[in-house]
Amino acid sequence: MTHHRPSGKLFDHPPDMEPLLPEAGDGELDGTALLLIRRAERLRGLLHPVTRKTVARMVRSMNSYYSNLIEGHRTTPRDIDAALQKDFSADETQRALQLQHVAHMETQAEMEARLETALAAEVCSAEFLCWLHRRFYERLHESLCRVEGQKGEAYQVLPGRLREVEVSVGRHLAPTSKGLARFLKRFGEFYGPLVTPTTQGLVAAAAAHHRLAWIHPFLDGNGRVLRLFTHAWFTKAAIDGDGLWTISRGLARRQGDYRAALAKADEKRLNDFDGRGYLSQRHLGEFCQFFLQTAVDQAEFMEGLLDLDGLQARIIGYAERKESAKELPRGSGRVLQETLLRGEIARGEVGRIIGASARTGQKVVGELLGQRLLISDSPKGRLRLEFPAEAAGHYFPNLFPAGG
């Protein structure tokens, strides 16, 4: 974020961000959106509902990792795993990044709970966007709540507050701070009714992603709020595959293309054949196609990872290697496989599953719980799969970057 004191006039009227949707064109956008709808729906049926919730929690962590990575903040999966166990680094900088990761996850979880009763159109409201920003920044370490201006001046980021200074992002001069309320009102009124499980709704989600970035409503944290907002849209439009995929991974892996596509869609109309708004219709369409194709790619990637036969094989293979190294008791792989397929199992069943005594079964359960390959809500509760960092790297290859 760069503070800017321009001599020229900043955008101060909502029509300055027209068009708000690309033209229908040759149907390519609708075709990509339809493909995304189908891919997301296929994800829903891949896993037992209990296992699906555990995977969705892991994907929430992945969403935080990649969203922060886009902002230049990298935390390793092992550090993330430690943070989720409330085991924070003694190094203040690393601890702040761990807290940031947890803040993003907790904000997303709180957002998803709110969305269960919220009207779809609410996700586009200024109130919702400010609430997202506030809930995220209230959880951050103070060192991450300060930004520096172009001339070295310090600014404090106030949770949930719209910016009160003028900024530029690259070559784009964001709208005047005094006009933000008007821009966000127009944004909510136009896009709110389009949060629907339709191809038009998904094209609108892509367009809204850019236009919210263009408005740049906050002093800092716009990118994270933007991606949480998009996740909220996908959730209310029932396109999130029950939380089993995230576009942030694709945007992070194609950061250069993502930033270039955003910047291109900032450009004003090219000529009389480029729509009727102030901004380029053509470049908005190109951004929407890039965005939706990235979403399709990520849904397809997760579909491949969660294919039951392949996932079973990787889980069993991981356990058998640990068994051979005497790091897990024999039969652990069969227990993990059974839990994957059934969602959860009773502790008393483990002896039968591995063909051993109840006492031996208890020992196997104790070891799997100790290594967090299984979890339970109580000392006698049923057992579910868990995905600690080391195991997740084997179960779900390429989920995080190599060496991440």
Taking CB atoms within 8 Å and a gap of at least 24, the contacts of 159-163 are 159/133, 159/134, 159/135, 160/130, 160/131, 160/133, 160/134, 160/135, 161/130, 161/133, 161/218, 161/219, 162/130, 162/217, 162/218, 163/216, 163/217, 163/218, 163/219
Of the candidates 387, 384, 366, the one whose C-alpha atom is nearest the C-alpha of residue 314 is: 387
Instruction: For residue 167, count other CB atoms closer than 10 A to its CB.
Output: 23
Rounded CA-CA distance 34/153 in Å is 47
Q: Which helix H or strand E contains 325, and what residues bound it?
A: none
Is-contact 11 209, C-beta < 8 A? no
Tokens at 262, concatenated = 């955003």
Is-contact 168 231, C-beta < 8 A? no
Walk across the sheet containing 167-169 and list its strands.
Answer: 2-3, 167-169, 172-173
Place of tokens 């208890």: 362
* Per-residue pLDDT, 154: 85
* Per-residue pLDDT, 336: 97
Instruction: State pTM to two decimals.
Output: 0.92
Q: Is 359 exposed, middle or buried (0-12, 13-18, 19+ CB in 10 A)?
A: exposed
Using N-to-C axis directions, what is the helix angle for 49-70 and 92-115, rounded to 10°? Answer: 130
* Per-residue pLDDT, 325: 97
Rounded CA-CA distance 144/118 in Å is 30
Which residue ranges form the domains of the chain, and what is each CATH number? 2-305 (1.10.3290.10), 308-395 (1.10.10.10)
Is-contact 216 3, C-beta < 8 A? no
Is-contact 52 240, C-beta < 8 A? no
Q: Is 174 exposed, middle or buried (0-12, 13-18, 19+ CB in 10 A)?
A: buried
C-alpha distances in Å from residue 127, one per residue of 160, 174, 235, 380: 9, 20, 18, 43
Is-contact 101 68, C-beta < 8 A? yes
Look up residue 279 and give its DSSP letter: B
Q: Which amino acid is at 207?
A: A
Mean pLDDT per 10-residue section of the chain, whose length is 404 residues? 49 91 86 96 91 92 90 85 87 90 94 97 98 96 83 87 89 91 98 97 97 96 95 96 94 95 90 78 95 97 95 97 96 96 95 94 96 95 94 91 55
Is-contact 236 115, C-beta < 8 A? yes
Helical residues (DSSP H) of 180-254, grouped into ranges = 180-191, 199-215, 222-236, 247-253
